[in-house]
Structure formats: C-alpha cells, structure tokens
Amino acid sequence: MTCLNGPCVLKPEHNLLITMKFVTYTNFSELPPHYDSLFERQKHVSLYLTKYWFENLINTCFTPDDKYRIFAIEDDNSSQVLLMLVAREPASQNGSVYSKWNLKNGSLASLTNFQSGFYAPIVADLSQTDLVAACQCLAHGIATESKSYYFIDLNLMDPQSQLYQVLLDAFKTEGFLPHPYLYKANWYEDLNSPAFSDYLSGRSKSSQNALKNFQRKLRKFTKENNMSVKIMTGDDNLSEILNAYHAIYQMSWKENDFYPNFAEGLLVACARQKSLRFCLVSVENKPVAFEFVAVCGSKATMIRTAYIEAYKKLSVGSIAILTTVEHLINIDQVKSIDFGVDDDAYKKIWVQNRRERWGLTFIRPNGLAGYWVLMKLNLRKLDHRLRRIAKTIIGNKSSH
C-alpha cells in the first residue's frame, strides 16, 4: 500500500478492489449524509460508539479549549465510509491515566470520559485485508497531518480484537512507539435464554440466595411498606423520570458528578432514541431508588444506580437492579448485560464474566514534546516496576 496526500492507492499485489483516501472533519455537522448509516449500525453494537453518546459527551464535558476530530477512511470511488476514528484534542481528559499530564496541542485521545466503558474506531464490514489497509491509511494520514501529532492515547479497547493488533502495527509502521497497557476491568454476561428463571438458576449458590432474598423483600415491602416498582422509557413520562432522578440522586450517598450535566443529558438522549429503561422504586409514593439502563439492540448497559440512604435497610437499590434485570431478560430479551467498568464487589452477584479493557498509547519522539512524554512514560513504567518489587519483598518478609 502506498499512501499519498490525496487517496491511498492500494497496489495490485494486495488483491484489493478499492482505493482509499484519508479525510478529516472537525464537527459532526460536516459529515456527509451517508455517514449516518454507519452510526445507525452502532445502535445495535455498543452504546459507547453511538453518535448520541459522543454528542452528549461533547455538549456536557468539554471545556472551551477542548476540540474533537473525526478521522475517516473512505472508498475514493464511491465515497463510502470504511472507518472512523472519533477523537478529542488535547489528550489527558478526565478519566484517563494521563489526566494529570497537561498535554497540549499535538496530542489526541479517544473520545471517552469517566463513564465510558468501551472504545474503538467505528468500522464498516471489511475483510481482514481491507481492515489492515484502512488502518494503515488512517495511521499514515494522522502521521502526516500538518499538526504533527506526537501523542495518541486510545483507551478502553478490547485487547483480544483483531482491530487492536492491526492498529498497533499500523501506527508502529509510521514511526510511533506503541505502549499497550491494562486500563480497567469490565463485568458482563452473555445470556443463553430469554427467561429470568434460567438466569437465576445459572447463578452461583450465594448469588441465588442473594437474589431470592431481594425477591422476598420486594414481596414483603410491597405489602407492608406500600412499595411500588415500575419501568419507564421516557416516551410520555420524561418529566417524571427527571424529577425522580434529581430527587433521589441529591439525597443519595453519591458525590456530585465531575460533569454534573452528563448523566442527565445521556438520560434524555436515551429517551429520545427509545433506548432508555428507567426503573423507579417508590415507598409510600415517594421516589427512593432508581436504576438507569440503556438498551442498544440486544445489549443492555447498566449506567447508574442510586437510592436515598435512609431507605438502605429496605434494599431498594438491589430491588431496582433486580426488577430491571428481570425486565431486560423477559421483556426486552437482551442477549448481553454489561455492568460497566471497575471491580465493584456487588457486580459478581449479577453477572459472572470479567474482561479487560486496554489502552494503546502511541508516542512519536520527534521534537521536544515527543521526547518529554516518552521520558515521563518510561519513568512511570520504572516507578510501577519498583513498586511491584517492593510489594513482593515486603510480602515475602511478612510470610516468614
């Protein structure tokens, strides 16, 4: 493959029939109409790659200094979009392992934040050969940009995916030094049956006992404490949902969000996209707990749980999750439930699988800025290595 300033011309020996070109956009409004079909597909792939997720993040989390770019690879003959990388600049966003590095112009990062659970370039249905060529074209285009990017951080990716390794190889070919790193853990479960009873019987003994206990509490409190539980979608009750969300969250144990408008903006966006499932638990007609979920195709993503601390003994938070999971399985018939990132202990009650989300950092040591971040990264690696050695030594001494 030979990449030119215009199209990327694919040589005949690759047996490719398409000619690719690298294009960039600075706003979603600039995208040609045919890009919409690729974004529409993401509504059945991952919440974190939908256009409404990205737009809400930009509208509620960006500062005046933040910008975003869409790097795309198109079929030069048909202008069909083959691959999109939606990125932010500068890097070092909140939630990133580099959040304190104060990176400036010349740095790029995945368009993610503290709430994101996954990220990847958005790819059309491509063969292995075409995917490799598209990623090579992307890496070459970014490497030859007039901005001369020296730092790229793509976090929350699936390290087992074909795309992960292909991107690593493509940027390495362009002179970037790759640094793969473990970022976060993600708890989830793929479901084999559209019946909650089968889901329940598939739990461990301890998880079954916990869930059955929540079921007993729901029956008991419904009778004795005038508890009610309902699932809402926001079609005709969005105002009620928002009022309940604010009332509960403000009286919950949770700290104020770093970006206070993000979750509410996402809730509204999900309602408009028909993907919202909002479980509301009330006691004596007072909203006391909620579970906020987004359903994309056959995948459910648990966004947020909150409850008023004074009602903790009634297990209202767990009852909200229980009711939601039962609805997702029996009514929505989802095939997968995702409990987001981080190793919170309660997640093991509800889902049984854990996978890792990794980052890919690329550094081009051209100029002072590139050498500076490379030095910082190497010092960071050394610090982590020394900490592990010290921890091992202390552990060995304490065992004797």
State the CATH number of the domain containing residue 44: 3.40.630.30
Q: Is residue 111 part of a domain?
A: yes
Q: Is residue 345 part of a domain?
A: no
**Which of 55-66 are b and which e, b meaning 16 or more Cβ less than 10 Å from the residue's Cβ?**
ebbbebbbeeee
Q: Same domain, yes or no, for 30 and 165?
A: yes
Residue-wise pLDDT for 48-76, tens only, equals 999 999 999 999 999 888 999 999 999 88
Q: Is residue 24 part of a domain?
A: yes
User: Taking a C-beta distance cutoff of 8 angstroms, is the pair 121, 83 a contact?
Assistant: yes
Q: Is residue 392 part of a domain?
A: no
360, β-bridge pairs: 154, 180
Q: What is the dihedral of CA 124, 299, 85, 364, to 10 degrees?
A: -120
Q: Same domain, yes or no, for 169 and 260?
A: no
Q: Same domain, yes or no, for 225 and 169?
A: no
| Cis amide prior to 90 (ω within 30 degrees) | yes
Two tokens, residue 390:
């010290």
- Confidence (pLDDT) at 2: 37
Q: Same domain, yes or no, for 174 and 31?
A: yes
Q: Is residue 318 part of a domain?
A: yes
- Confidence (pLDDT) at 398: 62
Bridge-based pairing state of the strands 81-89 and 67-75: antiparallel
- Phi, psi dihedrals of residue 65, rounded to the nearest 5°: -85, -15
Q: Same domain, yes or no, for 8 and 152?
A: yes
- Which structural domain, as residue segments, surrounds residue 254? 192-334
Q: Same domain, yes or no, for 207 and 264?
A: yes
How many domains does the structure of the chain reveal?
Answer: 2
Contacts 24+ apart (CB under 8 A), 290-295: 290/244, 290/245, 290/248, 290/320, 291/317, 291/320, 291/321, 291/323, 291/324, 292/245, 292/263, 292/267, 293/324, 293/328, 294/47, 294/266, 294/270, 295/328, 295/332, 295/334
Q: Same domain, yes or no, for 222 and 76?
A: no
- Phi, psi dihedrals of residue 370, rounded to the nearest 5°: -65, -45
Q: Is residue 344 part of a domain?
A: no
* Cα–Cα dist 136/153, whole Å: 17
H/E element, 354: strand 353-363
Q: Same domain, yes or no, for 222 and 181?
A: no
* Cα–Cα dist 284/227, whole Å: 6
Q: Which amino acid is at 80?
A: Q
Along the 400 residues of the chain, how does pLDDT read in single tens digits?
334 444 555 545 455 556 899 999 999 999 999 999 999 999 999 999 999 999 999 999 998 889 999 999 998 888 899 999 999 998 877 778 888 887 888 899 999 998 999 999 999 999 999 999 999 999 999 998 866 788 999 999 999 999 999 999 999 999 999 999 999 999 999 998 889 999 999 999 999 999 999 999 999 999 888 899 999 999 999 999 999 999 999 999 888 888 899 999 999 999 999 999 999 999 999 999 999 999 999 999 999 999 999 999 999 999 999 999 999 999 999 999 999 999 999 999 999 999 999 999 998 887 777 767 777 777 777 766 777 776 677 666 666 5
- Phi, psi dihedrals of residue 60, rounded to the nearest 5°: -115, -15
Q: Same domain, yes or no, for 214 and 170?
A: no
pTM value is: 0.89
- Confidence (pLDDT) at 123: 96
Q: Is residue 324 part of a domain?
A: yes
Q: Same domain, yes or no, for 237 and 177?
A: no
- Confidence (pLDDT) at 3: 40
Q: Is residue 67 part of a domain?
A: yes
Residue-wise pLDDT for 269-302, tens only, equals 999 999 999 999 999 999 999 999 999 999 999 9
Q: Same domain, yes or no, for 68 and 165?
A: yes
Q: Same domain, yes or no, for 328 and 243?
A: yes
